[in-house]
Chains A and B, each alone.
Chain A
């Protein structure tokens, strides 16, 4: 069974502080991992995916298969990063994507 765990419902950090949003997954096959973000009054949108190995808006995430984790990191938080962040697992192909419960990131000025 696919499962995504985001242990923190709310994460508050000060502007300029490092951010780490935790995500752990459970899947027996080869996973595709994503981070989606929903800013206030906007639709859910893709932030990044592990196979791209890219940095978007200063965020990075590394897939650690040994720890089954895909934590989202940013060295210096900005106020505009405040949003809901969802980790998602998609096996690929025609399989469904499973979401975590989401973590609300609050960046304090």
Chain B
């Protein structure tokens, strides 16, 4: 398996522009997570989906952030408009659930976002 795939790997944009990050989870996984990592705040969960349905978006910082999962093999995280404080590494992770428990989360390589 190719693992979790994220694109782009690096993104440099100017303040006010729209940014779209993409993720392809591991085939067969039914959970998908979006995280943001910064030096100051560490790794923070933004939102997660189960079977393509958003379950918990309490970590989404504000209305400028939105996430979708139109099918089991694709998800997007959009920032509109972007601001310099959004600069971070954004990780997508996926996991498979067995019964009541969710198994190991596998992380993608991340998207390094710089907003100027």
A and B: interacting chains: no
Interface residues, chain A, with chain B CB atoms under 8 Å away: none
Chain B residues at the A interface, C-beta cutoff of 8 Å: none
